[in-house]
Amino acid sequence: MVDFEEVFETNAMIKEESLDVRTITMGISLMSCCDSDLDRLCDNIYNKITEKAKDLVAVGDEIGLKYGIPITNKRVSVTPVSLIGGCACKTPEDFVKIAKALDKAAEDIGINFIGGYSALVEKGMSEADKLLIESIPEALFSTERVCSSVSVASTKTGINMDAVRIMGDVVRRTAELTKDKDSIGCAKLVVFCNPPDDNPFMAGAFHGVTEPEAVINVGVSGPGVVKTSVSHVKGENFEVLCETIKRTAFKVTRVGQLVAKEASKMLGVPFGIVDLSLAPTPAVGDSIADILEEMGIERTGAPGTTAALAILNDQVKKGGVMASSYVGGLSGAFIPISEDSSMVRAVECGALTIEKLEAMTCVCSVGLDMVTIPGDTPAATISGIIADEMAIGMVNQKTTACRLIPVIGKGPGEYAEFGGLLGSAPVMNVSKFGCEGFVNRGGRIPAPIHSFKN
Radius of gyration, alpha carbons of the chain: 21
Q: Evaluate whether residue 146 is within a structural domain.
A: yes
Q: How confident is the model at residue 251 (pLDDT cuts 50, 70, 90)?
A: confident
Q: Identify whether 273 is part of a domain.
A: yes
pTM: 0.90
Dump pLDDT digits (tens) for 120-130: 999 999 999 99
Q: Select from 165, 193, 221 the last residue of a domain.
A: 193
pLDDT for 10 beyond 70? no
Question: In total, how many domains does the chain have?
Answer: 2
* Residue range(s) defining the domain that contains residue 405: 229-446
42-to-32, 47, 136, 151, 169 alpha-carbon distances in Å:
12, 9, 17, 24, 28
- Which range is least confidently modeled, 15-19, 90-94, 237-241? 15-19
Q: Which SS3 state, helix, strand or coil, does residue 191 take?
A: strand
Q: Give pLDDT, residue 278.
A: 78
**pLDDT for the residue numbered 1:** 47
**198 occurs within a structural domain:** no
Contact indicator for 282, 423 with CB cutoff of 8 Å: yes
Question: Comparing C-alpha atoms, which of 409, 419, 323, 338 is closest to residue 372?
Answer: 338
Assess if residue 209 is contained within a domain: no
Using CB atoms within 10 Å of the CB of residue 66, give its burial: 0 to 12 exposed, 13 to 18 middle, 19+ buried: exposed
Confidence (pLDDT) at 308: 93
Predicted local confidence at residue 193, as pLDDT: 94
Same-domain status, 309 and 406:
yes
- Coil, strand or helix: which one is 118? strand
Residues of the chain with pLDDT > 90, as a percent, come to 56
At 18 the pLDDT is: 53
Residue 330 in any domain: the answer is yes
**212 lies in a domain?**
no
At 16, the pLDDT band (50, 70, 90 cuts) reads very low
Q: Which residue has the higher pLDDT, 392 or 13?
A: 392
pLDDT digits (tens, 9 = 90+) for 128-155: 999 999 999 999 999 999 999 999 999 9
Domain with 89 in it: what CATH number? 3.20.70.20
Residues 311 and 306: their CA atoms lie apart, in Å, by: 9
For residue 72, the model assigns a pLDDT of 82
- Return phi, psi of residue 191, to 5°: -110, 125
Do 166 and 290 fall within a single domain?
Answer: no
Per-residue pLDDT of 344-381, as tens digits, reads 899 988 999 999 989 998 888 788 888 999 999 999 99
